[in-house]
Amino acid sequence: MAQLADVLRLRAAGKGVGVDLYYGLRLFEPNRTWQQKSEYVGLWIKDRLYRVQDPDTLQLFKDKLRAAVFFHEHDIPSPPILAATHTEIHVPGMVALHSPEALRAWLAEGAPYPLFSKPSASYGGFGNVLIETYDRAGGRLVFRDGGSISLDDFAARHGAPGKSTLIFQEVLRPHPDMEALIGPRLATARVMVLNDRPEPEIYRVGLR
């Protein structure tokens, strides 16, 4: 009953925190004060946050290749992009693959496995694939989840003209201290910075 009352009180506060967020964010934990709980907001805030962001910056980071160029030009460390399909954007050290034949040849002869593949413009992990290895005898790409696809089919699906850009990166490993906490997966730190004051101020940092 106490948790139900807590949820109703948060709903009444008008910040869009419902049952899903209440339990997803573990706001029921006894060490959470009301002040801490009341600082959370629901997903409705996302569109408003996008509206106040600088539009040029938002446009830049919609595309991972453009972002990679920005990171390189400003000496910001980022995972290198090894190859990409269907792009005119030049990223230092990247192999440009403009046809199914080029994609197939690179995956068969030049790619360092394991390999991480994802669309250049996507969100939430949509379209991401971890390619564990290339089974040369069977002519198949083998995925981390146990699935597989023939190299010819993969090259035809993603290498044909008009297809969206796909990028390939090496598989990164978490720091041992992080792996002990969250397992063998990467996490990212999301930093919210307020720039409407004399000096930039870090408002929130979240590990995702």
d(CA 105, CA 110): 7
What pLDDT does residue 24 have?
80
Residue 154 has pLDDT above 80, yes or no: yes
Nearest to 154 by CA among 117, 109, 112, 114: 117
Per-residue confidence band for 3, with pLDDT thresholds at 50, 70 and 90:
confident
Residue 13 has pLDDT above 80, yes or no: no
d(CA 137, CA 145): 20
Nearest to 100 by CA among 150, 158, 139: 158
What pLDDT does residue 127 have?
85
What pLDDT does residue 106 have?
98
Residue 155 has pLDDT above 90, yes or no: yes
How do residues 187-198 score in pLDDT, each as one tens digit?
888 888 888 889
pTM greater than 0.85 (yes/no): no
Q: Is 17 in a helix, a strand, or coil?
A: coil
How do residues 94-148 score in pLDDT, each as one tens digit?
999 999 999 999 999 999 999 999 999 887 678 899 999 999 999 999 999 999 9
- Pick the residue with more confidence: 13 or 73? 73
Q: What is the mean pLDDT of residues 149-169?
A: 94
The backbone torsions φ and ψ at residue 59, rounded to the nearest 5 degrees and listed phi first, read -65, -40
Per-residue confidence band for 167, with pLDDT thresholds at 50, 70 and 90:
very high
- Residue 102 tokens read as 């080029």
